[in-house]
Structure 1
Amino acid sequence: MKINGNEIRPGDVVEHAGGLWAAVRTAHVKPGKGGAFNQVELKNLIDGTKLNERFRAAETVERIRLEMKDFTFLYAEGDSLVFMDTESYEQLELQKDFVGDRAAFLQDGMKVTVKMHEERAIGIALPDQVTLLITEADPVVKGQSASSSYKPAVMENGIRVMVPPFIDAGEKIVVDTNEITYVRRAD
């Protein structure tokens, strides 16, 4: 779907300069001299490079609709992660580098959403929160104020997180996968 350059909004995916780009930030600029334009910060969905581009109202770009498909994480094999389409039961293999640091949060049977464009995976969304076991937690230091004292702990996936002093090794906690922060004690 073609749109004018001044209609690009953050979150839009556009085809520009032969690639797929997501608009990260936009600013409408009306200089004292000349026509108004839309200053857009773009991020390449394939390689992650960034680009600042000016779009005038008369310019048109192709807005891309991404297909969101539900997948289930099956297992990791070397540098590959194997997912299964919940509708067709076809398997999809993605590299750990594609998922990034958040690959450590993947658990067997976890539901994820894969962003697809022309049957090619270009992004993945994990659940916002996961429950993990604390394997190591530092002891509480007496005399610390309880209001803002957090201590380091290591989760079962090897990632360190700051937790409140009442959390000990062997307990399960809920972690935010986007910020990699403690949310609450698991039920």
Structure 2
Amino acid sequence: MAKMQANQMRAGMVIEFEGQRYTILKQNIMIPGKGNAIIQVDMRNIKTGAKKDQRWRTADVVERLTTEDKEFTYSYADGDNLVLMDPETYEQTQVPSAILGDRLAFLQENMTVNVRLIEGDPVSMDLPETVTLEIAEADPVVKGQTASSSYKPALLVNGVKTMVPPFITAGERIVVRTEDASYVERAKN
């Protein structure tokens, strides 16, 4: 474990706070009108999967846990677990599916995932930044709506809702960000 100042926290780091381990999801530095800057951190409890918002002063010290990153290939889901394969040794390992939270829907067979380990225990898992998915259904464009003015709701084949430009229709494949299901572009292939 290493101590670091709160303002050094970055997404993906793992910290220990009040006896629990948390993965940092994102952090913002807020500078109030008077006084010192505050770090607003969104984090996820590694054991329970619950999200928590926490504020620190920039000079506060937090415990950072040393993590090791390892790539795995996702094989299949087994109950509440995900079965991953080590691409070098072909050994299988299981991680709880809760580790992905609401990004679980974007996990695809044979996808390369990055797992962060602490003393061999998986504590967080990163998916590729984007995935290509087919649109299951998209709302029709409202007449009189200009192309640039607004996105319309659409449902991806994995059951996730997203917002797409008016020209996207059901059956098309689009690229979306795994972090927040936002539309990136029309798939090129």
Range class of TM-score, shorter chain:
0.7 to 0.9
- Name the CA distance, whole Å, in 2 between partners of 1:70 and 1:131: 20
CA contact (8 A) 1:152 1:162 kept: yes
> What residue is the counterpart of 2:9 in the other structure?
10
The code of the aligned residue for 1:176 comes to: R
Partner of 2:104: 103
What is the identity, as a one-letter code, of the residue corresponding to 2:8?
Answer: R
Inter-partner Cα distance in structure 2 for 1:7 and 1:154? 39
CA displacement at 1:102 relative to structure 2: 0.7
Bigger radius of gyration, 1 or 2? Answer: 1
User: How far has the Cα of 1:133 moved from its partner?
Assistant: 0.6
Instruction: String of CA shifts for 1:142-185, please: whole Å, max 9, x gaps.
Output: 11122222221111101111111111111100001112111100
Structure 1 gaps, min length 5: none
TM-score (norm 1): 0.76
- Aligned 8 A contact 1:21 1:45 in 2: yes
1:65-76 correspondence runs (5 A): 65-76=66-77
Structure 1 runs of 4+ with >3 Å offset: 5-8, 12-27, 37-57, 60-63
Paired with 2:115 and 2:65, the residues of 1 have a C-alpha distance of 15
TM-score, normalised on structure 2? 0.75
Structure 2 spans left out of the alignment, 5+ residues: none
Partners in 1 of 2:66 and 2:131 — Cα distance?
29
Aligned counterpart, 1:129:
130
Alignment match, 2:172:
171
Query: Secondary structure at 1:87's aligned position in 2?
Result: coil
Q: Aligned residue for 1:83?
A: 84
